[in-house]
């Protein structure tokens, strides 16, 4: 009488095993899909991951008007600046490229400007021009897997923090007395905050982060919900393991929040009040976690990455006042 029951048990066990294998294979497939979507470079710009803006038509019109003036100042700076190409090799052997701009008069003030996700160094020239026109030298890198730099996998700030350390060494090799400020936007802001937790050279005097996220896990969880209406578990958990194998890092360890807690230089935090991509709420725990001199600017009516173009005068006044008061030698 027991033999048929044993056969039934074996059939059930076999069926359960097959189901587990199918589910595991499906999850791995999904994990690879999301790694390809989020982390593999896309130089053609097809990674449309931002939600529909919630900025009002009136605020957007103001942003567009300001952008015209900002573009004119950028072009003026580019026309009068001496520009040189720069190149380094990352710790894992990637060729990284940048553009260096030199002020007309000798100065030891340097801006290292870090661009955002699926962008390039040129996207930082509008902010860099404000520093350049104020008499600073500027270095604008293409981050790994972006622009002219090599790499297959986007670092989301975590791999990039090590590259930034090498770019800092590059600047110091040119100017041992350099006073360096890091300024990043979006993924670039997460990058400079993640860099803040490393052992920085004394030449680094301050950091400006504009609309950076708390961690890669947090921003990907938000995107998974916004774009696909899917929960983090189990998809993001599996995707994280696939990313560890393919890209070399996990999403939870890539935490700007934890790195900011270890900061030893002043940090200015900036965000738009209407940012529904890297939600405005993310800036508050980052600001609270910072143990050094700090300030917070939330620009009313600005969406993601629009704080500067929404109110350029307030933005620049806040940035330079913070740097002069907390970071730079008189």
- pLDDT tens-digit profile of 50-108? 788 899 999 999 999 999 999 999 999 999 999 999 999 999 999 999 999 999 999 99
pLDDT of residue 11: 66
Whether the pLDDT of residue 270 is over 70: the answer is: yes
Whether the pLDDT of residue 23 is over 70: the answer is: no
Q: Among 31-40, 152-161, 180-189, 290-299, which stretch is predicted with the lowest mean pLDDT?
A: 31-40
Percent of the chain whose pLDDT exceeds 70: 92
What average pLDDT does this structure show over 244-258?
97
Closest CA to 210 of 267, 141, 261, 142: 267
CA 257/CA 189 separation, integer angstroms: 12
Confidence of residue 20 (pLDDT cuts 50, 70, 90): low
Asked whether 157 and 190 are in contact (CB, 8 A), the reply is: yes
Asked whether 266 and 239 are in contact (CB, 8 A), the reply is: no
pLDDT of residue 209: 98
Beta bridge partners of 137: 110
What φ, ψ does residue 255 adopt, rounded to 5°?
-115, 110
CA 111/CA 137 separation, integer angstroms: 6
Residue 286: Cβ within 10 Å count: 25
Three-state SS at 157: coil
Model pTM greater than 0.75?
yes
How far apart are the two ends of the chain, measured CA to CA in Å?
Answer: 93
What average pLDDT does this structure show over 185-198?
98
- pLDDT tens-digit profile of 213-243? 999 999 999 999 988 888 999 999 999 999 9
pLDDT of residue 13: 67
Closest CA to 142 of 134, 132, 154: 154
What average pLDDT does this structure show over 111-140?
97
| Burial zone of 42 (CB within 10 Å; 0-12 exposed, 13-18 middle, 19+ buried) | middle
β 95-102/82-89 pair status: antiparallel
Asked whether 273 and 22 are in contact (CB, 8 A), the reply is: no
Whether the pLDDT of residue 44 is over 80: the answer is: no
Residue 284: Cβ within 10 Å count: 14
Confidence of residue 1 (pLDDT cuts 50, 70, 90): very low
Cα→Cα distances 291→33, 95, 113, 187, 197, Å: 39, 35, 23, 22, 11
Per-residue tokens: 8:
């039934």
CA 10/CA 268 separation, integer angstroms: 63
For 325, how many CA atoms within 13 A lie in the half-sphere containing its CB?
A: 11
pLDDT of residue 28: 80
């Amino acid at each position: 009488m027991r033999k048929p029951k044993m056969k039934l048990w074996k059939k059930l066990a076999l069926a359960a095993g097959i189901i587990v294998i199918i589910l595991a294979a499906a999850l791995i497939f999904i994990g690879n899909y999301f790694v390809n979507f989020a982390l593999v470079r896309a130089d053609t710009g097809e990674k449309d991951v931002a939600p529909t803006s919630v900025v009002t038509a009136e605020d957007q019109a103001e942003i567009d008007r300001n952008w015209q003036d900002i573009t004119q100042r950028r072009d003026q700076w580019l026309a009068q600046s001496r520009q040189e190409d720069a190149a380094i090799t990352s710790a894992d052997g990637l060729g990284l490229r940048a553009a260096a701009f030199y002020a007309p008069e000798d100065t030891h003030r340097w801006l290292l400007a870090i661009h955002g996700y699926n962008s390039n160094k040129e996207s930082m020239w509008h902010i860099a021009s404000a520093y350049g026109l104020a008499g600073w030298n500027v270095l604008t890198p293409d981050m790994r897997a972006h622009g002219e730099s090599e790499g297959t996998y986007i670092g989301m700030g975590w791999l990039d923090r090590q590259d930034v350390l090498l770019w800092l060494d590059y600047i110091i090799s040119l100017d041992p007395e350099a006073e360096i400020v890091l300024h990043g936007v979006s993924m670039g802001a997460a990058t400079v905050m993640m860099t803040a937790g490393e052992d920085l050279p004394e030449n680094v005097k301050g950091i400006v982060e504009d609309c950076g996220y708390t961690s890669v896990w947090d921003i990907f969880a938000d995107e998974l919900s916004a774009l696909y209406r899917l929960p983090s578990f189990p998809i993001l958990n599996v995707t994280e393991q696939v990313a560890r194998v393919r890209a070399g890092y996990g999403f939870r360890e890539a935490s700007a929040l934890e790195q900011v807690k270890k900061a030893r230089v002043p940090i200015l935090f900036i965000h738009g009040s209407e940012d529904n991509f890297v939600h405005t709420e993310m800036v508050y725990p980052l600001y609270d976690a910072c143990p050094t001199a700090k300030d917070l600017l939330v620009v009313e009516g600005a969406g993601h990455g629009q704080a500067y173009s929404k109110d350029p005068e307030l933005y620049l006044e806040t940035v330079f006042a913070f740097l002069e008061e907390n970071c730079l030698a008189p």
